[in-house]
Amino acid sequence: MAVAIGTVSELVSSESVGWRSLRLRLNEIATTSDEYETPPFPGVVAHVFLSDECRREVFVSGRWRPVDMDRGRVATTPVGETWRLRYNNRRLVNKHRLVHLHIPAQTFEGVVQQLPQDRTKRRRSVYTAVAEDETLTQFGLTLVKAIQAGAPDFYAQTCAHWLSAHLLMGAEQTAQWAASLDSEHISDARLVRILEYVGEHLDGDLSLKALAKEAGLSEFQFARLFQRGLGKSPHRHVLHLRLQNAARLLSASRRTVSEIALLCGFNSASHFGAAFRQHYSQSPSEYRFVQKWAELGLNSRD
């Protein structure tokens, strides 16, 4: 059964920035549909509701069960499973927005393997129909903004691991586990080696997976230990260095913006341009123009 959901408008999609590690869709749905069935997905899906109250009915154990959904509510779908749904909003709003977050099964299971067994007791509760979780609402909105700013897949990798741990353990236990990881430590020599590796490979693969492998750690553990050692995530550190290098090349070379984007490890000139503008409040071309005038001792407005 695959009945259309009235009117569905896709407002934001992670496909626009080429994310592979975490798929996101921000949809606005007209909640006046007949029943429909969600498609299966080879991973865990979290559906984060952003709008005011709407009534959704779920077909469970042979009958329809009403569930009032509003901002801060999260519904989850297990790997490969579907939901049979319909909306009943005669007395409520007829549209709502929600963020769909698709976590690849391999990522989710990888986090399961990294957690102590006594901290994965909530694993089955990940698959409950509805939970209240304002943290995930804010997280979903943050991801939407990241996509609009052109964040690369490296950012999505870190977010997918955090989201998996949060779904498995809940906010309180996730924080406790993070604190326990802080008691471990990555040696100064190893950290220096990783920083040197990053500096020498700005045009290469500096994904979370690649850096964790270089450090000899799991991806989730590496991300946490890097944060503890440098006070920022691997993604932010790599992005900062790449943008610094790009600014230097814009000032000191005649390479095109597209060439500089590739040399600094960005997938495309558009992704590079969005990240550069967010960091420097100027496009790469504007930055180059201003720097050239500054070298001549002139104001760019002269």
List pLDDT tens digits, range 81-99: 777 777 665 544 567 788 9
| Mean pLDDT confidence for 120-124 | 51
Say if residues 154 and 229 touch (Cβ distance below 8 Å).
no
Cα angle, residue 24 at apex, residues 21 and 28 outer, rounded to 5° = 175
Please report which confidence band the pLDDT of residue 185 belongs to, taking 50, 70 and 90 as the band edges.
very low
Select the highest-mean-pLDDT range: 122-136, 146-160, 253-267: 253-267
DSSP label of 186: -
- Residue 300 vs residue 296, higher pLDDT: 296
Q: How far apart are CA 50 and CA 24, in angstroms?
A: 14
User: What confidence score (pLDDT) does residue 34 get?
Assistant: 65
CATH classification of 8-150 is 2.60.120.280, yes or no?
Answer: yes
Mean pLDDT over each residue of the chain, to the nearest integer: 77
Domain ranges, ordered by start, for the chain: 8-150, 184-294
| Mean pLDDT confidence for 19-41 | 78
- Residue 179 vs residue 234, higher pLDDT: 234
Q: Pick one of 1.10.8.50, 3.10.20.30, 3.40.50.1970, 1.10.10.60 as the CATH number of 184-294.
A: 1.10.10.60
pTM: 0.59
* pLDDT over threshold 90, residue 266: yes
3-state secondary structure of 266: coil
* pLDDT over threshold 90, residue 195: no
Phi, psi of 101 (to 5 degrees): -115, 115
Phi, psi of 288 (to 5 degrees): -60, -45
- Residue 112 vs residue 31, higher pLDDT: 112
Please report which confidence band the pLDDT of residue 220 belongs to, taking 50, 70 and 90 as the band edges.
confident
Q: Which two tokens stand for residue 282?
A: 């100027």
